[in-house]
Structure 1
Amino acid sequence: MSRKKLSTKLFYKYYLEWIHLYKDNAVRTVTLSKYYLVYRQLKRLVPDLHMNELNRKSYQKILNIYAQNHEKQTTLDFHHHLKASLFDAVDDGFIETDPTRRSIIKGCALKKKKKKFLNLYELQLFLRSLDLNDKINWDWFFLLIAKTGLRFAEALALTPSDFDNEKQCITINKSWNYKEKIGHFQPTKNESSNRAVMIDWQLMQQFENGIKNKGKDELIFFNKTDRIYNSTLNKKLNDYCLKLKIPQISIHGLRHTHASLLLYEGVSIASVAKRLGHADTTTTQETYIHIIKELENKDNDKILHHLSRLT
């Protein structure tokens, strides 16, 4: 490769152009915002670094500086966002070799993690405290996520037409963009997120009664003109947790709770992944690795017990 082709453009400017070319209008808004966040961080960290100065050493320095104030997983995410653009830079002849090759991912000490999910007793205590009157309210929203593991935006987008009483399931084929001033329907996170989620007859009957006076395409939990804030509902959930003296979790924590309890009940990883709308079981395994390891230990005890009887 001729060195004359190599780019002398500033790295952060190349990365911004790469976002415009490959990511604008191609990925979801929330995903795109992450790319722009990385761009702003890159501009702050190395405002004077040119593409022709990029090599394994200069790239590793970027990661090391970033890692001083970020945990290892966050640094890894930062690295992955940059790595994709640099692969293209090599292919396009803007740089000679891949500077991300054999990068070392570091990170500052992990902060003490808040518990992400409730155990069965805590969840039952929480559900019994909900105000589930005849009119659909946000307590019904909490109940639904706890029993289905739906994503926040998926649950917001539900309409009466999504409930199939005969098949006893809820169809997930859209989500609600609540982050913009005027909310609107949008596609689900990925193709695997389009799914049918089975629910128990009691939950189906409860919702059938609550939505019978709504139009089939009318939003269940709020009006289209209402502005919905994730933080507001998380605070409401947190207030419940504080009052009940149980771990404070987020709405996404209710999704984690649902999945965790299914795994503890012996439901397969494949079935849990499908129910959550994960693209593959790898995501499920990585998210719930601590539970899976715990269950593996129990399985090992069962295996040894079985083997001991074969004498």
Structure 2
Amino acid sequence: MGKRRTANLQGNVRQRPNGLWECRFYVTEPDGVHRRRVSVYGPTQKEALQKAHEYQVQHSRGLVARPDRRRFGDFAKEVLERHTRGKAANTRRNYARELALALEHLGDIPLQRLTPHDLRRMLDRVSEAYSLRTTAKVLERVRLVLREALALELIHRDPSTAVRLPRASEREKAAQHLEPSQVRVLLEYADASQSPLMALLLRVLVQLGLRKGEALGLQWRDVDFVGATLKVERQYTLQGSKAALGPLKTRAARRLVPIPADLLARLKARYDGLLAEGYTPRGLQGAFVFGLDRPLDINAPNHYLRRLVERIRLEHPDFPQVRIHDLRHTAASLLLARGVDVSLVSERLGHGNVNVTLSIYRHLLSEERQQGVLPLEDLLDGPRHRA
């Protein structure tokens, strides 16, 4: 046994057989009654004493978490279960899959010993096999777990605050939007195609900003031709390997969307056509707008748009390779470009709050603000208004 010495902080300092110096001391728990023995180590006696002093200072300020032996993976699964309770099945699966990518590298590390270096190494490994967008999602899930650990005082600091991913401008572009001229070309080709129902679906997506699953889940009872509104109440999405109707992605996604006059006329023409075929208004109430007895195949819109873009690119080689979800971004971009308030755009899209909209479309808002920077001559020579 190494030699012992009494420290100035009422503890014992000794050198262990492995050469490290250990300083033992007691701290009083927050209840003011119980005491707990703590040991800190250092390569020299001086460093061990210094660590002991720093620990006591941190403890007196309430910055030392109570010892907890749980591993990060075990605590993360508890948090995931609480946070995703009541959410859509797809959302739960996405959260679980993204967190699992982190747990491959962090799961066995004690929660209270997790360091920024551990997180940085995990993100580097994930980014080697997955896109930067996926890597960012993984970091979001880890931060969710660490924020709860911090709130419960299981850790005294969040190690993820020291970790950064490339800025949005440096990342791959996760989504794109069509310019007005490109939207016109897309819809002209769609109207000329042999699938008027698919052409109508594209118009709903690009004018109302619905998610594909929300559009496929629409029923005729959701369309108010008198009030020119549309209720979004359900979605048709993959539930595991099978498509099925289910709840919306978030509570805010349940919304009432105004329908532009031109789109309302097209929907009414589709409805009147079904009545002419022999359907009754009562029978159509539970029918799907895109599919009648059941929604269209969930992959059909993707295949249709891909083939449509291929035809467009034969005459317009510069036309972008857009995806179905890009039409939702296009709808938001067109509204923002026309000066529609971002809070209204957020409500139309069914975002949980306006910050979600700002984080996705901040670059568009920056472009609009830049267009408002005019030389003095343009401001002075502009049209005058009488008071």
Higher-Rg structure is: 2
**Cα distance change, pair 100–304 in 1 and its aligned pair in 2 (3 A):** farther
* Corresponding residue to 1:244 among 299, 304, 312: 312
**Cα distance change, pair 163–52 in 1 and its aligned pair in 2 (3 A):** closer
1:49-105 Cα deviation digits (max 9, x unpaired): 233432444444434444555566544432221222233334556x44234253221
Greater CA drift, 261-270 or 155-164: 261-270
Residue pair 1:197, 1:275 contacting (<8 A) in 2 also = yes
1:233 aligns with 2:306: no
1:105 aligns with 2:164: yes
CA distance in 1, matches of 2:263, 2:193: 13
Gap runs ≥5 in structure 1: none
Mapping 1:106-121, distance limit 5 Å: 106-107=165-166, 113=173, 116-121=176-181
CA distance in 1, matches of 2:334, 2:345: 10
Mapping 1:127-146, distance limit 5 Å: 127-131=187-191, 137-146=197-206
* Corresponding residue to 1:264 among 322, 333, 337: 337
Greater CA drift, 138-147 or 96-105: 96-105
SS in structure 2 at match of 1:155? helix
CA distance in 1, matches of 2:240, 2:377: 55
Greater CA drift, 296-305 or 144-153: 296-305
Structure showing the higher strand proportion among its residues:
2
SS in structure 2 at match of 1:167? coil
Query: How many aligned residue pairs are there?
Result: 307
Residue pair 1:118, 1:257 contacting (<8 A) in 2 also = yes
**Cα distance change, pair 282–10 in 1 and its aligned pair in 2 (3 A):** closer
CA distance in 2, matches of 1:82, 1:115: 24
Query: Percent identity at matched positions?
Result: 19
* Corresponding residue to 2:268 among 208, 228, 232: 208
* Corresponding residue to 2:213 among 134, 153, 166: 153
Greater CA drift, 248-257 or 132-141: 132-141
Gap runs ≥5 in structure 2: 1-28, 30-35, 39-64, 314-318
Match of 1:9, as an amino acid?
R
**Cα distance change, pair 275–132 in 1 and its aligned pair in 2 (3 A):** farther
Greater CA drift, 213-222 or 248-257: 213-222
1:217 aligns with 2:286: yes
**Cα distance change, pair 123–302 in 1 and its aligned pair in 2 (3 A):** farther
1:192 aligns with 2:252: yes
* Corresponding residue to 1:171 among 222, 227, 231: 231
Residue pair 2:221, 2:285 contacting (<8 A) in 1 also = yes
1:10 aligns with 2:83: no
User: Could you say which residue in structure 1 is the equivalent of 2:327?
Assistant: 254
**Cα distance change, pair 303–243 in 1 and its aligned pair in 2 (3 A):** farther
Q: CA deviation at 1:142?
A: 1.2
Residue pair 2:236, 2:298 contacting (<8 A) in 1 also = no
User: Using CA pairs below 8 Å that are at least 6 residues apart, which structure has the higher relative contact order?
Assistant: 1
- CA-atom RMSD in angstroms: 3.4
1:240-282 Cα deviation digits (max 9, x unpaired): 1121122111111111112212222232223322222223332
1:23-52 Cα deviation digits (max 9, x unpaired): 353322222123211332133223542334
CA distance in 2, matches of 1:183, 1:299: 46
1:123 aligns with 2:179: no
Using structure 1 for the length normalisation, give the TM-score.
Answer: 0.82
